[in-house]
Amino acid sequence: MKFPTTLLRFVAVTVLAASALAGASVPATAQAPLHNVKYTVFAEGPAFLKIFYRDIDPPNWADYSHNPYVYTPKVEADVGPDQQWNLDVQLANPEDWAMVVAQGEPGLTPNVHCILAVDGVVVKTDQRPKGALCSIRNW
């Protein structure tokens, strides 16, 4: 069966126009879905800790390495066996950027623990006498 040339052209133009409209409705910069990242820090004994964490995804490695402290806030917290520091953040790429570091006071060894969970699943834990580091990425 042979179709008239004008019908084939009409179908081709219609398909192209529909494809263009469908593509136009998709944003040019689609955002990656965000993951819930939960940081937990505590110690086996009373401790005053400096805690550094990542709460936003840096735009790229170059920007991060130029000034990491722009992307790594610090808090100070009293923690202990019954007193945790917890923070929930939303990251697009936790495998690259999720990180929490806790540092104790010099000379004290309260046995600091950290826990890093992504979307409700614990992906990293650490425990050390003076401080702890939880990160999925090997820094």
Specify the higher pLDDT residue, 139 or 79.
79
Q: 59-71: per-residue pLDDT in tens?
A: 999 999 999 999 9
> Is residue 15 in a domain?
no
Domain assignment of residue 48, given as a range: 35-135
Residue 119: which CATH number?
2.60.40
In a domain, 54, yes or no: yes
Query: For the chain, how many structural domains are there in total?
Result: 1
Residue 1 covered by a domain: no
Give pTM, 2 decimals: 0.76
Q: What is the pLDDT of residue 30?
A: 64
Mean pLDDT of the chain: 84
Residues 134, 138: Cα–Cα separation, whole Å:
10
